[in-house]
Structure 1
């Protein structure tokens, strides 16, 4: 019999699977991989498809069930508001990155394929719109990365300052002894 993992367990896997992808796309752009050939660009594209799939899964989970985490009892005032704001900003930021990626494909002059096989959208050939959306996509992604850093810093602060075990909530059990 196959059982579904608990929501929190599934979100932990999703969360920690997205971290290296977020780091990768923060440090490596398509222009960086192009000099290494088509295979490197293809690899980058497949990673992007995986990342976007994760973004959409997380957004769908949020829309269906709301936030998985609640602020702990030790969070008061600004920290309580920041907790909810940071999580929602991350989820909507992930969704925004996926949408602007789709819009890049839609406004492109050629058919773009995610992972080299999945058509993103029918190309409308809107060069000016494509340039604008491309800039939005880039700035939006780096803003998302900044929010992720603030999110991580917030949870480290909670764990160290409030001693509320905030890091244990999302860390795999194998790492709990180090926290």
Structure 2
């Protein structure tokens, strides 16, 4: 259940952030993002993170891996919470939602590059954890 929920919410959030960057804070999409972003954080908080550094990741990257992962959850949850707050009519004095979505997409891109590097350069099969079973043949 945790794996399916994490994978589904992960890819849903990724797609929604791309759409929100492209089209701005469209209320329908923003609501789905706010709910799914908070849901993935709830799954991680209640059931634990699904990822780990793996035995092939060494040195500083191994030590910082859990913190970088937590930072992605904090970023996703923070942007989702701010989105929900604004959609409910709350005031937000920080960057616009469009800017927040852009920042989150930028962080997500770095996150993806790191995991692609792990999967290809280290050969640790990292992408198999988050890729649906039916798509793993492409890896």
Q: TM-score range by the shorter chain?
A: 0.7 to 0.9
C-alpha spacing 1:165/1:104, structure 2 compared with 1 (3 Å): same
Alignment of 1:4-83 (within 5 A): 6-30=1-25, 44-83=26-65
Deviates more, 1:137-146 or 1:72-81: 137-146
C-alpha spacing 1:17/1:102, structure 2 compared with 1 (3 Å): closer
Query: What TM-score, normalized by structure 1, do the two folds share?
Result: 0.69
1:170: which partner in 2? Answer: 130
Matched, 1:143 2:103: yes
C-alpha spacing 1:16/1:99, structure 2 compared with 1 (3 Å): closer
C-alpha spacing 1:86/1:99, structure 2 compared with 1 (3 Å): same
Give deviations 1:96-126, integer Å, cap 9, x for gaps. Answer: 1123224435xxxxxxxxxxxxxx15x6xxx
Cα distance, 1:8 vs. partner?
Answer: 0.9
- Which has more radius of gyration? 1
1:95 equivalent among 68, 77, 81: 77
Query: What TM-score, normalized by structure 2, do the two folds share?
Result: 0.86
Unaligned runs of 5+ in 1: 1-5, 31-43, 106-119, 124-128
Cα RMSD over matched residues? 2.0
